[in-house]
Structure formats: C-alpha cells, structure tokens
Structure 1
Amino acid sequence: MSKTETAATGLSTQYASQVAADLENNLKEQERISGDLAALQEQLATLQQEHAVLVSIQQALGATSAPEKSTARRATKAVPTPRKKATASPSQGKRTQAKKSAAPSRKPAAKKSVANKAADKTAASPAARRTLIEIVREHLSAQKEPRSAAEITTALGQQHPERDIKNTVVRTTLEGLVAKNQAQRSKQGSSVFYTAPEAAKASTAGKDSQEQPA
C-alpha cells in the first residue's frame, strides 16, 4: 500500500470517528431537550388546570370576567417599580408651613375688598338709577342763567363722575326736553342755550319791567 492510500485511510477513519461522536452528542442533546420539553409541558398543563379552577372560583365570587393569561403577563411586566417619595428638606417644610399660615390672612382681606366694592355699588346705585333726563332737568332748574350743552355736559361730568356723560347725548336730551316743554331754547348768535321754563319766565318778566317807563 502506498503512502497516499495510507494517509487517505487515516483521514477517513478520523472523520468517521468524529461524525460518530457528533451523532452521539446530538442524540444525547435531543434526549435532554425532549426531557425538558416534557417537564415544561407537564408544568404548563398544571398551570392551565389551576387557571381553570381559579376562573371558576372568581366567577362564583361574582367577578365579571377572568383576566387573560397574556394580559396578566403584560400587566406584570408593565408595572413600574414604586418610586420613593422625595423627603422634604427642612427649608421646604418651613416654606410650606409659612404658606399655610399666611393663607388664612388673605381671606379676610379678600372679603373686605368684596365688601368695599359692594358698598361702593350701593352708594352709587341711587345716582345710577336716575335717568339722564332727570339729572339734566334738575340741573337746568337750579340754573338762573341760560347754559349751553357743552357747559351742562361739563357740570354734570363733575357732579356725576361715575357716569360717562357725552355732549351729544346731553344735547339730544335737551332737545327732547324742549319738545316736551320742559326746557326752553334760545340763540345768541350761532350759540344755542337752554333754560328751565321757570327761569325763562323770570328772565322775560325782568326784561319787561325794565322796558316799562317810570
């Protein structure tokens, strides 16, 4: 036999022995995994039986439905670890106590401000209930001389600062009083003046007495 044939025979023998060893190891690994799989299947069957028993007990106790296995697993995985509450430092505790102690003192002030606003509204309510016609008529009655709409607007704005009195509104009000014979209108050049009927009569009587011969 030549050296080449001897070397080829030796390599074949080595490969054959290696393959035989690999096959033996493979079979042993299959047997081990098969054993583990059988044990796992037994555990799974036991768990399934326990699950069925627990579901029947839960239904007997009045529960609506039993949770699914997959849902229970997801819920178990999704539950976060509880966080520890941060312990408040002494300075933070003092600030909290200071805020709590200061809080009651603010309430009386708030009530006082509300009471002041209500008092202001009550004090201003009689004037607010009066109409602009009444105010203008009363102002004209107190005047002894004719007044223009601008003069009346300025005077009423000073007497009633709580009202937004405008010249155009006052002029319209005066014209309305003239139409009702509750005021009289006179012209001096291009200016228009208004007086109360009583003041107009008194002014006319004075002029007549001055015109009569002595």
Structure 2
Amino acid sequence: MSESTTSTTELTSQYIARVTDDLEHNLKEQERVAAEIAALQEQLTALQQDHTVLVNMQQALGITKAPAESAVTPESTAVPSPRQNPSAEPSGRRRARKATASQASPAARKPAVKKPAAKTVPAAKTTQPTLVELIRRHLTEQSEPRSAAEIAATLDQAYPERGIKTKVVRVTLEGLVAKSQAQRTKQGSSVFYTAPDALEPAVAPQAEEKPEGTDS
C-alpha cells in the first residue's frame, strides 16, 4: 500500500507541474499576441490619419474624382476579448433576425425601399464651394499679402465644419501659383500670397499726354 500511495503522489505532482507550466506558457502567449495586436492597431490608426490628409489634399487640388473610402471601419478594428464565447450569442441573434424577417409582411417592407432624401445629397454637395474657390475669393478680397497660416485661420473661422489645415492651404496656394492664379512674395523667411495683378493698359496715358505740334 505504501508503494502505490507513493507512486500516485509522484504522478499527481507531475501533472500539477505540467499544468502549471502550460498555464504560464498560455499566459505568455496571450501577452505576446496582445502586444502584436496593439502594434498593428497603432499602424492602422496612422494609416487612417494619412488617408484623411491625402483626401483633403486631393480636394484642395480640385480633383473631382470621389476619394476612396477607407477599407477598415471602426467596428472592424475593435480587438475581441479572448474570453468571449463566439458561438452562443451570434447564432441566437441570427435566428432572431430570421424570425423577424419572416414575420414582416411585404406591405411593411415597401416603404423602406423609397429614399427620397438621398436625391438631395448630391445637390447639397455641389453647392458647397471648394477650398480652391474659397482661397481665390479670399485673396481677391485682401489688399495686403497674406501668409498661408493667416489664410487658413480666417477660412477655418468662417467654415469650422470643414477643418481647414494650414498644410493643405499651403499646398493649394502653391498649386494656384503654378497656374498663375496667385502670386507669391517672400519677405525674409516668411512667404506671402496675393491675388494676380490685373493688367493695366500703358498706351492710353501716353496718348493723352501727346504734345501739341507747332505750325511751321
């Protein structure tokens, strides 16, 4: 009896040690995977911010092509908890949705098909001036040169919902200068922008000041 008790005790100790090691290994693997997910989440956030800046620059340059939507939605970036049960609740929700869809009558689904409000969305977008138009209009209204930061601050105050940034305004101004739709001057280390000067005729004043001839 003593030998069998001793062997049982040794076997139990071996199982306890094995389970303890496996548990520690499992916890370390969870920490490693969580760290990788956090790093990927940071990279995704940076890419989404770059995507927003590029879309703003595309609009500032007057490109009419619709900007590409981000392929990742906020819901898809959420990190799932490792202790959730993925099989029980979703199946119940699917059954509930199927039951609700089967009970809905065709007459109740018909009003949901009509979306008259969607027709007014393109009209609202077309009436909103582009950033290029806003900057051109602002330059023509100024009597003195303005810097990109000053123009961005004025437009952002007038249109706070657009989130106008100085970097985007500066890129837009450089594009207008390249198209001869704006002039750039430099004072020291600062750069200022003005509207293009209107061409003034130089022949008319000379015609008016023509000296009178003397009779010979």
Q: TM-score range by the shorter chain?
A: 0.3 to 0.5
- TM-score w.r.t. the length of structure 2 is 0.34
From the two aligned structures, give the one with the greater helix fraction: 1
Higher alpha-carbon Rg:
1
